[in-house]
Amino acid sequence: MARVSTYLNFMGNAEEAFEFYKSVFGTEYASPLMRLGDVPADDSMPALSDAEKNMVMHIELEILAGHVIMATDMIASMGHELRIGNNTTINLEPDSREETDRLYNALSEGGVDASGMSDMFWGAYWGSCLDRFGIRWMFNYDPTRA
């Protein structure tokens, strides 16, 4: 079933923030916390420090009426910088790969910073873009959820 969620970026304190949100909303994580150290090694990417490996790759928490917030930690050593405009993303999880492509193509048209769509190691078909109005969108099609 398709869903929409809000994706948040943090500079190393995603876990702290989500522990706080968990206490505020009285809910539990929707899936186990994934750390950056859990990501398969990629020779084209710089090595992560031990502290960076302990940072959050992905965390997910239902807050109200089925709405889910998700998050990741940005990595300063890779040039990531948190600012208004890159701290929040609308995450779309369509019911089909075709619908995912349709939405990605429509929202990325005239936009910038488009990643393209790719099959990812966590099993999803994923991509992101900044649309022509400056809104960041993420697309995740998970065939096991459809």
Q: Are residues 69 and 117 in the same domain?
A: no
pTM of the predicted protein model: 0.74
Q: Are residues 103 and 120 in the same domain?
A: yes
- Beta carbons of 90 and 133 less than 8 angstroms apart: no
Domain hosting 26: range is 1-76
Q: Are residues 98 and 145 in the same domain?
A: yes
In the block, residue with structure tokens 């990501």: 39
What are the tens digits of pLDDT across the range 83-92?
Answer: 766 788 899 9
Which CATH number does the domain housing residue 35 bear?
Answer: 3.10.180.10
Instruction: Domain count for the chain, please give it.
Output: 2
- The band of 17, judged by pLDDT with boundaries at 50, 70 and 90, is very high
What DSSP assignment string belongs to 48-91? PPHHHHTSEEEEEEE-STT-EEEEEE--GGGT----TTTSEEEE
